[in-house]
Amino acid sequence: MDSVEKLARIREIAMTVSEPKNAGEIAEVADVSRNTAAKYLAQLDEDDVLIAETRGRETTYRPDPVTQYFSQLRELTAAHTKEELTRELDAIRADIERFRSTYGVDRPDELRAAVGDASEAEERAQRRQDAEDWEYFEHQRRLIQQALELYDGVVESRRTARA
């Protein structure tokens, strides 16, 4: 694996972690040495792709949320038409409305707070899952709305850059 492939692999892994990871943990998954991972992780931190946090002698890395957000916007506008995004936005809104009407609450945290109101373990688990899904849908709704607002400008910028 050459240095470009190593950097790409480390970036791919580091950008998908849900919890901050140290260089050794990322190196193990990327199948590279700890020193190689540390070098490239530091570079990704300098490039504002990752956020490095030092606690004592350990440095952990996690994705930069701003970089992630703009990457997601770019991916949405590149992979989907405005019509597709609008249909997905409609489907998300329908799912959120279903949660509101099913549980009689207005926000995912209210649903999570009502988990204990269910008597059956299966129903409690379903409420927890629906609260997580609802939070995800809210995030996707905001992202898709932003993508739709920026769509024409992003597409035109891409077209101009390629010309």
Average pLDDT over residues 32-52: 95
Residue 1: pLDDT above 80? no
Please report, rounded to a whole number, the percentage of residues in the chain having pLDDT higher than 70. 100
Residue 155 has pLDDT above 80, yes or no: no
Residue 132: band (very low, low, confident or very high) from pLDDT cuts 50, 70, 90: very high
pLDDT at 156 over 90: no
Q: Which helix (H) or strand (E) holds 62?
A: strand 58-63
Quote the pLDDT of residue 119.
Answer: 80
CA dist 96 → 37, 61, 107 (Å): 41, 33, 9
Question: In a 3-state reduction of DSSP, which class is residue 53?
Answer: strand
